[in-house]
Structure 1
Amino acid sequence: MTAGKVDAAAIAARVEAFVRDVVVLYEQDPRLGAHGPSEELVAELRAKAKAASVLTPHILEGGAHLTQVETAMVLKPSGLSPLGPVAVNTMAPDEGNMYLLGKVATDEQKARFLAPLIAGQARSAFFMTEPAADGGAGSDPSMMKTVCRLDGNHWVIDGRKAFITGAQGARVGIVMAKSDAGACLFLVDLPDPAIRIERVLDTIDSSMPGGHSIVAIENLRVPADQMLGAPGEGFALAQVRLSPARLSHCMRWHGAATRAHEIATAYACKREAFGKLLVDHEGVGFMLAENLIDLQQSALMIDWCASVLDAGSLGTAESSMAKVAVSEALMRVADRCVQVMGGTGVSGDTIVEQVFREIRAFRIYDGPTEVHKWSLAKKIKRDHLKGRAT
């Protein structure tokens, strides 16, 4: 079976029904904590997703991946609940890691590291970002301090990493380190005593299992055949993952913002103030109208970027534009939903306040808005000077 022969709309419909009918019922589950859902809850949700034939819906039997346009159709409804991507196995960082391994891993690496991720039996972590206090790599990976050196048929890695999503509880790790030849990517089995979680950070978001950790890597020995690609190819291979991963974030959080808008709309259509429904007050009605505009424009940006990626020509500029436009638009949507609902909007009685927190973090994760704008500004200057030269 190939991606071109599947009915992505039918897959998306099954995912939406599962999230709305099953996953939403877990949104007040006591196994949800500040650092994400517990491993027990993740396993329970994924068992139900598997029974409903919606587990890892973007990857088909045999390993074929849906096109990016088709992936958008599926990932948006998976995000209708903050728990949805966890339940159906479309959540970051696993979704991006599966995409990367599907593109660049050897057959042996896929069998060992990718297969358990696709089956929803394991979670993964991508070890790239480093602590700012160490002067390490954040939005600028060229500042990387984590190093690796060849020792016989093993690579030895030392360094510290920060904001590593899902490190706690992960079974598969992808570690970036700097060698004399340049950046390298390694596949590692987790847990490993050489990879020590110093602490799990308390952050504004709470949807991702394992939270976000600061990690120390000390004398980690990795067999040479667990390197992805060749020495020095780490940055190039990371881009294989990062550009589509930014777009996947946009897809999932579009679903979350859509759900928040639905909840705010229902609230405004039943709550009365000053003799009429809230929705009939121009200030509230206009906010909901603006939500529709932002949601539709975001969907168009996602679909355009996905089509460019499918055509094989997606660059960092396109993914940066999508990341900026969609994250900022969805932040406006989430903020308006909170405002429309007043006190209820800032309470935990609905998932609106969580969506607000999650999307606020999304404006930073995978590159802050300002970094992407700076990158685009450099491209504008470069293209202008190139045009003058010719």
Structure 2
Amino acid sequence: MGIEIDDIQSGALRPRPVPYEGRFMFLRVDDRHAGRTLLRRLLPVVGGGLADPDPSRDAWVSVAFTYSGLRALGVPQESLDSFSEPFREGMAARADRIGDVGESAPANWEPPFGTGDVHVAVSALSPDAGRLHTALERAHIALEDTPGVRVIWRQEVRQLPTGRTTFGFRDGISHPNIEGVGLPGSNPHEAPIKAGEFILGYPDETGNLPPMPSPEVLGRNGTYVAVRKIRTKVAAWRQYLRANTSGEQDEALLAAKMVGRWPSGAPLTLTPEHDDPELGADPHRNNDFLYRENDDRGLRCPAGAHIRRVNPRDAAIVGDARMHRLIRRGTTYGPPLPEGVMEDDGADRGLIGVFTGANLGRQFEFIKAEWVNDGNFIGYPGEQDPIAGHHDGTGTVTIPEKPIRRRLRNLPSFVATRGGEYCFLPGLRALRWIAELED
């Protein structure tokens, strides 16, 4: 069965451009007829397929919907009932399951996240501000001409001048090898993963067709997306590293042990003693490794390091890691904390994470609950992801070393969830189907 690439929204599969400029917007639909009119006006703007394999030459807009958004647009109840349970319930209702507790609990989220007012999510990404403006201008014309639909939230994102995250590490390195798509994965050792793990309407790793919304025109070539706004506590991160090391070199190594890569993107598994910027910048080498073959005991990259938790690759764990793969897209928002500054300046900074897969429960929620927020699968029960975990000053992280392992204690939380939504990113035919609904 061939993959209908041209019917899949570009935002589902294509890596983000590097560098990038972007904007995320949430819309509320107060009138279903106006909402459908807006969709018809947006359709020519929404990109599909992979016609240009070089994303640096392009700009594109993607459109997704929450459960309440599909209902607001008048999608029949029979179809609404056919969506997955996590999507129907929404991210806020499942916060305990995915570790959004304490300061990250929905009660502390930035509005309109988790309120039910988010109906449509529009994202635009481009290599530069000029092309972003061109793409958004067409979308804004459609919005301005459609009373009954309102923008209720927007977030600008862009690559920092350093080319790294607010924590100072290069990201956007790892991309899965998806069978039949024609877009190479970043790890040459990874066997192609069935397209049904990421796009509905195709067999997944079990050999079966995953459950799909009905009718077929609505579900096929669509996918689920978890959108997250995450605040990064850069000053707390720097303070913890400084307090638990004896100098700059030791500080850099500890940070790398917690992340699993050096700031340049060079993986610890390939260069465990020092950063290698040339390796980190080489897309043919910076993701070319496995764990069981290169670092089974975690003496190079700890089993509890962030990148090893969220993608264990071939590591000896319970279950098949391929069943839990995601497409991850992270974009940075807010200003960087100036180099060397150790105190929080009060600015809002962090990342907008977009996590794409055909099964929210088996992919995003499983990774959060079992791999990020627990350590049973790696033999460290109770330990959480050193970067993405909710530690609240009581966290521990084990770093294997010879002759005696090191155990970090009293970790604070370095991130806080500012909000999140579960969305459905339909195929282009499905967008037209929704736009042409009749009461």
Return the structure number with greater helix share.
Answer: 1
* Bigger relative contact order, structure 1 or 2 (CA pairs below 8 A, ≥6 apart): 2
What's the TM-score once normalised by structure 1's chain length?
Answer: 0.29
